[in-house]
Amino acid sequence: MDRPLLYLDQNALVDVIMRRDRKFASAVRRLCQQSYQAVYGPPHLEEVANIYRTRATDVNCERYISKHLDGIRELTNCWELLPNNRPNAPGRLVQEDPARCFERVINHYELTYVAEGIEKGLREHVPAERSIPTPEDAFEGAKVREIWRKRMSNRQLNPDCYPTGAALRRSFKVAEGMIDICFRSLHDAGFGLETRRKTRSAIHDVSHAIYATMASIFVTRDVRMLGKIKATYKFLDAECAVYSVDEFISLADRM
């Protein structure tokens, strides 16, 4: 694939495939027609799987899920970003029907419950009421930097020599580790913290940020997510531009 990749977080993706925001959907499709390739990843299918939890008694549940899968197929032409468990190997870009990824997610969905339980426990230490917006230069602050250095050391990583830029794309496991440490450091400092009720959303924010390091553009309409990912990507010099929906529409209009 020689086209730059476009990655939308779940809410932005749904806005496009369900045509909730026609202006945004038009901008996405216009850029894809010109030069970009929209992609999806396991985090998107994990959130589709959550429909079974929130709409299990809805007689239209299966139809709603099918509509999501059809929308992903049409928008991305089934191009998907996948992890790579081999050491020091980059993430994979493959063409796979989203129904197959969805089946894998469902088969391992119990892992989501485990992750949510762990994350809820962490929420007790930094109440969401103390959450503040994340500035783009958050990692220049002494408090965040100290927390980050401690988290790096706890994982036996060198805080004075860490991977940035292109190195994040060369190894999926490296990107996964660095993004997780950065987001947790921001949360520990009280930046962009979600409420306990939105624990699942916070987990998926990290997942989307990890996969998006493989793309050229990342778009979200979540204000908390936008601040955290801009600060993290700036600190790590990630080769992916981050936009709000309005910023992306302006970009598309200029191209």
**Which of 159, 176, 252, 162 lies closest to 214, judged by CA?**
176
Average pLDDT over every residue of 198-220: 85
pLDDT classification of 48: cutoffs 50, 70, 90: confident
pLDDT at 84: 87
Query: Number of structural domains, the chain?
Result: 1
Determine phi and psi for 245, rounding to 5 degrees. Answer: -60, -45
The SS3 assignment for 40 reads strand
Domain region containing 54: 5-254
- Local structure of 227: helix, strand or coil: helix
- At residue 55, the pLDDT reads 62
Q: Which residues pair with 218 in a beta bridge?
A: 7, 242
Residues 6+ apart with CB under 8 A from 244: 219, 220, 221, 223, 226
pLDDT in tens, 65-109: 899 999 999 999 999 999 987 878 999 999 999 999 999 988 876
Would you state the pLDDT for residue 113? 44
